[in-house]
Amino acid sequence: MNNLILILIQVSHLEILAYFCGYGPVGFAGFL
């Protein structure tokens, strides 16, 4: 279970980076 949480955290960080790089809506839609 802890591994799943770590993966979610890593994905969240990638989404934040993508958002700042200008891929916010696309990355967020892909994440959902």
In this prediction the pTM is 0.39
Give the per-residue pLDDT at 29.
59
The separation between CA 9 and the C-alpha centre of its own chain, rounded to angstroms, equals 8
At 9 the pLDDT is 80
Mapping DSSP onto H, E and C, the string for 1-32 reads CHHHHHHHHHHHHHHHHHHHHHHHHHHHHHHC
| Domain carrying residue 13 | 1-32
**Domains: count for the chain:** 1
- pLDDT tens for the chain, 32 residues long, are 688 888 878 877 777 777 766 665 665 555 55
